[in-house]
Chain A
Amino acid sequence: MSRADVDTAASGRRTRRPDGPRPRRGWTARRREVAAGYLFVAPQLLGTVLFVLVPLALVFWYSFHEWNVLVGSFEFTGAANYERLASDPALPGVLGATATFSVGLVVLNLSLALALAVLLNQKLRGTIVFRTLFFSPVAVTLVAWTIVWRFLLQDDGGVNGLLTALGTEGPNWLRRETTAMIAVIVVQVLKNVGLNMVLFLAALQGVPQELYEASMLDGAGRWTRFRRVTVPMISPTILLTSIITVVGSLQVFAQIDVLTSGGPGTSTTVLVYYLYQNAFQFHDFGYGATLSVLLFAIVLVLTVVQWQMRRKWVVHED
Chain B
Amino acid sequence: MRITRRTMVAAAAASPLALASCGGESGDDGPVTLRMTIWSANEDHLALLDGIADDYLADHPEVEAIEFDPLPFEGYTSTLTTQIAGDNAPDLAWILENSAPDFVTTGALAPLGDKLSGTDGYELDDLVPAATDLWRHEDELYAYPFSTSPFAMFVNTDLLAQVGQPTASELIASGEWTWERAVEAGAAVGAQTDADGIVIRDFDYAGWDNLSTLWTGWDARPWSEDGTECGFAEPEMVEALGFMHEAVFEHQAMPGPGTTADFFAGEAAMTVTQISRAGLLEDGSFAWELVPLPAGPAGEYSVIGQAGIGVLAVAPHPEHAADFLAFMTGPENSEKLAQFFPPPRQSQLTAEVLGQANPLLSDEQLQAVVIDRIDDGVVKPSHTGQAQIDQAVRAALDPLWTPDADVEGVLTEVCAAIDPFLAQ
| Bound pair (A, B) | yes
> Which chain B residue shows the least CB distance to A276?
B78
Q: Which parts of B3-32 form the interface with A (CB within 8 Å)?
A: 3-5, 7-8, 11-12, 14-17
Q: A155-B259, A265-B395 are in contact. Are A70 and B102 (CB under 8 A)?
A: yes
Complex CA–CA separation, A7 to B234 (angstroms): 88
Any A CB within 8 A of the CB of B387: yes
Q: A32-B3, A70-B103, A266-B395 are in contact. Are A280 and B82 (CB under 8 A)?
A: yes
Q: What's the least CB distance linking A129 to chain B, in Å?
A: 34
Q: Contact: A1 with B2, CB < 8 Å?
A: yes
Q: A39-B11, A154-B259 are in contact. Are A277 and B391 (CB under 8 A)?
A: yes
A-side contacts of B385, CB under 8 Å: 282
Q: Contact: A175 with B102, CB < 8 Å?
A: no
Complex CA–CA separation, A9 to B7 (angstroms): 18
Any B CB within 8 A of the CB of A225: no
A-side contacts of B14, CB under 8 Å: 39-40, 42-43
Interface stretch, picked from A112-120, A184-192, A202-210, A256-264, is A256-264
Any B CB within 8 A of the CB of A131: no
Complex CA–CA separation, A71 to B396 (angstroms): 28
What 1/0 flags go to B275-298 for Cβ under 8 Å of A?
Answer: 000000000000000000000000
Complex CA–CA separation, A92 to B140 (angstroms): 43
Q: Contact: B399 with A39, CB < 8 Å?
A: no
Q: Which parts of B62-82 form the interface with A (CB within 8 Å)?
A: 77-78, 81-82
What 1/0 flags go to A50-81 for Cβ under 8 Å of B?
Answer: 00000000000000000111111000000000
Q: Which parts of B167-206 form the interface with A (CB within 8 Å)?
A: 205-206
**Which one of A46, A153, A263, A282 lies within 8 Å of B394 (CB-CB)?**
A263
The dominant DSSP class at the B interface is: helix
Count of chain B residues near A, Cβ 8 A = 44
What 1/0 flags go to A26-55 for Cβ under 8 Å of B?
Answer: 000100110110011011001100000000
Q: What's the least CB distance linking A237 to chain B, in Å?
A: 33
Q: Which parts of B370-424 form the interface with A (CB within 8 Å)?
A: 385, 387-388, 391, 394-396, 398-399, 401-402
Complex CA–CA separation, A262 to B395 (angstroms): 9
Any B CB within 8 A of the CB of A169: no
B-side contacts of A87, CB under 8 Å: none
A-side contacts of B5, CB under 8 Å: 32
Q: What's the least CB distance linking A90 to chain B, in Å?
A: 10
Q: What's the least CB distance linking B3 to chain A, in Å?
A: 4
Q: Which parts of A146-192 form the interface with B (CB within 8 Å)?
A: 153-157, 172-175
Complex CA–CA separation, A169 to B1 (angstroms): 69
Q: What's the least CB distance linking B229 to chain A, in Å?
A: 22
Complex CA–CA separation, A11 to B277 (angstroms): 80
**Which one of B2, B15, B84, B257 lies within 8 Å of A69 (CB-CB)?**
B84
> Which chain A residue shows the least CB distance to B385?
A282
Q: Contact: A280 with B81, CB < 8 Å?
A: yes
Any A CB within 8 A of the CB of B42: no
Complex CA–CA separation, A282 to B102 (angstroms): 10
Q: Contact: B388 with A33, CB < 8 Å?
A: no
Partner-A contacts on B (CB < 8 A): 1-5, 7-8, 11-12, 14-17, 77-78, 81-82, 84-85, 102-103, 106-108, 205-206, 256-260, 313-314, 385, 387-388, 391, 394-396, 398-399, 401-402
**Beyond A69-B85, A280-B81, 8 extra complex contacts between A and B, CB < 8 Å:** A42-B16, A71-B107, A153-B258, A155-B256, A157-B258, A172-B258, A280-B78, A281-B387
